[in-house]
């Protein structure tokens, strides 16, 4: 597949194709959408089936569901403070959606929807609009004081205000680019080394021996990618909470 024509084709894995046959093609339903639905279904199943027993001493699924819940709750309350609890459902949904997208994408034949900037920027834009609306709703006009720190000399305003505005507007970009770049880089690396295995494996007698080296690298990379998958979801969630903190406390 990748080694056809003896070239390294690392980017075709990100191409969108139609899922669900002719029905999907008619409504532009891609495999990316399909995996989003799968991720959503896995999340809902984990939370409903896992929490169904409501045991005091949790079983495996319930322990997993509770771990995720408590992890995100600690994160939100730790960053935003006690009044941040009402934003917990939002951050939890984001975190689980990004995490499942990253992790499901590591399975063979699966598609990583977080490797598309359109998806990550869409998520980041939701965060951006929501935090801005929260700040406006809680503080009204005082929100615009955010762009000019108190106590700075007034003649500096023409410099400070545009810089602060641009800095504020760069948030969704850095949020989305970070997740997108990490996922793309990881999958390209995996694909490149996997192609090396195939290419080197065809080198006659020494081939299979040499090919074990990139295979070993890939085994390590998969572990590393699992770490990155979790870490990026964590970073996405914690940055969302930090922005919510700024919106709630406004300083």
Task: Please report, as ranges, the residues that interact with other proteins according to CB under 8 A.
Answer: 56, 74-75, 78-79, 145, 149-151, 159, 162-164, 166-167, 169-171, 173-174, 177-178, 181, 235, 238-239, 242, 249-251
Indicate the residue among 36 and 179 with the shorter CB distance to other proteins.
Answer: 179
Residue with tokens 């641009």: 166
Residues in the chain: 251
Closest approach of Cβ 81 to other proteins, in Å? 11
Nearer to other proteins, 25 or 156 (CB): 156
Is the CB of residue 233 less than 8 Å from the CB of residue 226? no
Residue closer to other proteins by CB (options 9, 164) is 164
Report d(CA 35, CA 39) in Å as an integer.
6
Phi/psi of residue 19, nearest 5 degrees: -100, 165
Contact 207, 201 (CB under 8 A): yes
In the complex with other proteins, which residue's Cβ is closer, 48 or 174? 174
Residue 130 CB coordination number (10 Å): 17
Taking alpha carbons only, the member of 137, 160, 138 closest to residue 147 is 160
Q: Shortest gap between Cβ of 195 and other proteins (angstroms)? A: 25
Q: Could you tell me the smallest distance in angstroms from the CB atom of residue 85 to other proteins?
A: 15
Do residues 220 and 55 touch, judged by C-beta distance below 8 A? Answer: no
Of 86 and 142, nearer to other proteins (C-beta) is: 142
- Give the residue with the Cβ less far from other proteins, 32 or 79: 79
Shortest Å distance, C-beta 198 to other proteins: 30
Q: How far is the CB of 45 from other proteins (least distance, A)?
A: 27
Alpha-carbon distance 34 to 21, whole Å? 12
**What CA–CA distance (Å, rounded) separates 211 from 195?**
10
Q: How far apart are CA 220 and CA 110, in angstroms?
A: 19
Q: How far is the CB of 246 from other proteins (least distance, A)?
A: 9
- What is the nearest approach in angstroms of other proteins to the Cβ of residue 164? 8
C-beta of 32 vs 62, nearer to other proteins: 62
- The burial of 28, by beta-carbon neighbours within 10 Å (0-12 exposed, 13-18 middle, 19 or more buried), is given as exposed
């Amino acid at each position: 597949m990748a080694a056809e024509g003896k070239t390294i084709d690392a980017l075709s894995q990100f191409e969108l194709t139609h899922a669900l046959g002719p029905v999907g093609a008619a409504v532009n339903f891609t495999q990316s959408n399909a995996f989003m639905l799968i991720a959503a279904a896995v999340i809902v199943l984990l939370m409903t089936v896992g929490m169904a027993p409501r045991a005091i001493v949790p079983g495996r699924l319930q322990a997993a569901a509770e771990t995720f819940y408590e992890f995100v709750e600690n994160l939100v309350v730790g960053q935003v403070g006690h009044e941040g609890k009402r934003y917990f459902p939002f951050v939890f949904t984001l975190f689980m959606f990004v995490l499942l997208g990253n992790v499901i994408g590591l399975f063979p034949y699966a598609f990583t929807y977080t490797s598309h900037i359109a998806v990550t920027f869409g998520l980041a834009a939701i965060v951006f609009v929501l935090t801005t609306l929260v700040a406006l709703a809680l503080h009204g006009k005082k929100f615009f004081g955010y762009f000019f720190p108190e106590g700075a000399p007034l003649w500096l305003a023409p410099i400070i205000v545009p810089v602060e505005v641009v800095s504020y507007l760069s948030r969704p970009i850095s949020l989305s680019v970070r997740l997108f770049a990490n996922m793309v880089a990881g999958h390209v690396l995996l694909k490149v080394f996997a192609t090396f295995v195939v290419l080197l494996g065809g080198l006659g007698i020494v081939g299979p021996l040499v090919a074990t080296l990139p295979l070993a690298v890939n085994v390590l990379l998969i572990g590393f990618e699992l770490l990155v998958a979790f870490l990026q979801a964590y970073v996405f969630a914690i940055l969302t909470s930090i922005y919510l903190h700024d919106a709630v406390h406004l300083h």
